[in-house]
Structure 1
């Protein structure tokens, strides 16, 4: 397992732990600090974003490889908002 995989695995476990504790969903912000969406849940190696926070009413997914860091409030990405699918 390479270092990037270990980081992604650690982030995934931390996200799971955070989401299992309940409370509000975490915000997702791009590398410029712009709001991208809200985490619905972790789906494998991707964050599934809520439909209600989407401009097209659809779920969107963010691969963990695009996650730079997270804290108690938000998940921060290493890409700009327009690079998120």
Structure 2
């Protein structure tokens, strides 16, 4: 399964190849993104593993980057 290939510090990009964030760790059936990236605004965000289309040198989502960021779950600060 693809989630076995997902590692900390990998870039996460949308279907448009634009950045969504950086993997902090896996959290159940979600990827927790690092809160330090410019897209994160100082908060962790959760992206469902169901959105993962492909994993190579990056985690590639099936959604466009703007759509992914509009729908991700923010964690408490």
TM-score normalised by structure 1 residue count: 0.72
Q: Deviations along 1:22-42, whole A, 9 cap, x unmatched? A: xx7100010000011000011
Is the alpha carbon distance of 1:55 and 1:40 closer, same or farther for their aligned partners in structure 2, counting shifts above 3 Å?
Answer: closer
Is residue 64 of structure 1 aligned with residue 55 of structure 2?
no
Do structure 1's residue 52 and structure 2's residue 36 form an aligned pair? yes
Name stretches of at least 5 consecutive residues in structure 2 with no aligned partner.
73-77
Residue in 2 that maps onto 1:13: 4
Larger strand proportion, structure 1 or 2?
A: 2
Give the superposition deviation at 1:81. Answer: 1.5
State the alpha-carbon separation in 2 of the partners of residues 55 and 39 from structure 1: 11
Q: Which of structure 1's runs of 4+ aligned residues deviate more than 4 A?
A: none
- Normalized per residue, the structure richer in helix is 1
Question: Which protein shows a greater Rg?
Answer: 1
Aligned length: 68
The alignment's C-alpha RMSD in Å is 1.4
